[in-house]
Amino acid sequence: MLPLPPAQPGEPQHARVARALREGVRVGALAPGERLPGSRELSRHWQVARNTVIDALEQLQAEGYLELRRRSGTYVAPLLPAPDSSAPLRAPPLHLSAWARRALEGHDEAAAPEAPPLIDFRLGRHPSGLFPSAQWAQALSRHAYDASSSPPDPRGPLVTRLALCEWLRRERGAQVTPEMLLLTGGAQEALDALSRLMLEAGRVVAAEDPGYPGARAAFQATGAALWPLEVDDQGVRVDDLPPQAVAAYLTPGTQFPTGVTLSAARRSALLAWSRRSGAWLIEDDYAADLHYAARPPASLQGQAPERVLLLGTFSQSLAPALRSGYLAAPESVIEVLTRTRPVTQRTPPTLDALALAEFLSGGGYAKHLRRARSELRRRHDALIAALNRFLPAFEPRPVAAGSQLYLPLPGGWSEREVQRRAARAGVALSVGSEYRLRPGEAAVLLAFAHLSPEAIRQGIERLAAALAPGSRGR
């Protein structure tokens, strides 16, 4: 009889037995039509429980390797194709679709892993030590039964949409009803859904430059053409808006990545352009809940709910792992998205949505934000103070919200030179060109929300030493 192979990590005993028999059939050690010993004999031979053998036999019968003949025993299934030992073990060629080729554009092959920096200011890091994990775990526990017993709704649970409506009306000045809301797994999911809904080859979408790469990737994957919109100290320049665009993507509350707020005059001009051109305005309110210098400006959606598609996320303010977000849009848009959603995803994460509803309506989220905003302000101020102390030639632009600082470079410095010298000093940072479609001012980006004030000070001190005169050849 066949030997029992060594167990693989985490492999149950019945799977180990099934693997031995399956491989025996594949390599011809067990011939088609051959009768197997009984389960008692196999269990004694392999020194495993009889039920373990029975479970393995039933699994292989379901897979088609074995046949159970009444009053006769278990046999190897007849006419199994003989294994081709000469055929190389490789996957067939993958012929990418046009969508996949476009989605991969600009993505480099996976690079070799680097040694982690001592201080990491790169974007994509999220606030640390602020998530109310105990309260969230309790909310998840309380709603576990509701999540399993509630009928699925492709828009998300009504109780969550009601709580979110109240929050958006009160905190963001939005004009929303539950029927205008679609719960998502985050802002990127909403961007992907809107892109597939309204964009295709031959259409034009305008986007801020510099801007959020995730939005540009979703737009370009559809084959649509991107129209870059310049950003200055008042936000996006409205005189750059093209008349042929079907939509414009904006971060008016806190422009990503510069941190500026769109001026009132430009808000009015944007809405006027949308009405003239018939284009939609996609408002990404990614940092709305992380305003720590003052109350956030009201959402653009509140001024024109019939023209603005408002999307937001709780990944920034709570935790990325939650994947909770929303899209507020006219009911006609939500209806189409609801009908097409089952093609890619049946419903949003229901359990997280129910816990979020409790947090929003019960005051837990507001309490968390008060603490988070205070701590982010402390870390932001520590970064400004360190820059003023160690790099006085640089002119940081304090921000009122978000988790990163946009830092223009003084004349004579290139982004890549600063990045290279910082890396030698154990400091990692992002550069402005990573977020631009066209050449622009040299700048670096410093994410700070995940770092303690002491780590921030140490990082800027190291950066200053790396950029000091005479350190170029170090």
**Do 381 and 349 fall within a single domain?**
no
The CATH number for 454's domain is: 3.90.1150.10
pLDDT band at 429 (very low <50, low <70, confident <90, very high): very high
Strands in 18-134 per DSSP E: 66-69, 73-76, 119-120
Cα-based distances in Å from 146 to 151, 157, 184, 352: 9, 10, 19, 11
Q: Which of 362, 391, 418 is the last residue of a domain?
A: 362
Structural domain contains residue 95 = no
Give residue 472's pLDDT.
52
pLDDT band at 88 (very low <50, low <70, confident <90, very high): low
Summarize pLDDT for 193-231 with one digit per residue, the tens. Answer: 999 999 999 999 999 999 999 999 999 999 999 999 999
- What's the domain range around 308? 133-362
CB 160 within 8 A of CB 353: yes
**Do 66 and 186 fall within a single domain?**
no
Top pLDDT among 122 and 85 is at 122
**Do 446 and 398 fall within a single domain?**
yes
Q: Which of 328, 362, 396 is the last residue of a domain?
A: 362
Give residue 160's pLDDT.
93
**Do 396 and 271 fall within a single domain?**
no
**Do 330 and 390 fall within a single domain?**
no
**Do 354 and 395 fall within a single domain?**
no
Dist. CA 324–CA 453, nearest whole Å: 29
**Do 353 and 371 fall within a single domain?**
no
Give residue 107's pLDDT.
63
pLDDT band at 390 (very low <50, low <70, confident <90, very high): very high
Structural domain contains residue 316 = yes
**Do 458 and 334 fall within a single domain?**
no
Average pLDDT in the 352-362 region?
A: 90
pLDDT band at 61 (very low <50, low <70, confident <90, very high): very high
Per DSSP, what are the bridge partners of residue 404? 447
**Do 254 and 356 fall within a single domain?**
yes
Structural domain contains residue 375 = yes
| Highest mean pLDDT (candidates 69-73, 215-219, 323-327) | 215-219
Question: DSSP secondary structure string, 347-377?
Answer: S--HHHHHHHHHHHHHSHHHHHHHHHHHHHH
Q: At what angle do helices 133-149 and 350-362 cross, to 10 degrees?
A: 120
For residue 146 the two structure tokens come to: 């509701």
**Do 349 and 255 fall within a single domain?**
yes
pTM: 0.83
Give residue 283's pLDDT.
97
Average pLDDT in the 315-341 region?
A: 89
The CATH number for 31's domain is: 1.10.10.10
Structural domain contains residue 392 = yes
DSSP label of 447: E
For residue 386 the two structure tokens come to: 């360190």
Summarize pLDDT for 103-150 with one digit per residue, the tens. Answer: 888 665 555 456 789 999 999 877 777 788 888 888 888 887 776 776
Structural domain contains residue 105 = no
Structural domain contains residue 86 = no
Structural domain contains residue 168 = yes
The CATH number for 331's domain is: 3.40.640.10
**Do 177 and 324 fall within a single domain?**
yes
Structural domain contains residue 344 = yes
**Do 357 and 396 fall within a single domain?**
no
Give residue 322's pLDDT.
75
How many structural domains is the chain composed of?
A: 3
Summarize pLDDT for 25-34 with one digit per residue, the tens. Answer: 888 888 899 9
257 φ, ψ to 5°? -105, 5
Q: Which of 306, 327, 362 is the last residue of a domain?
A: 362
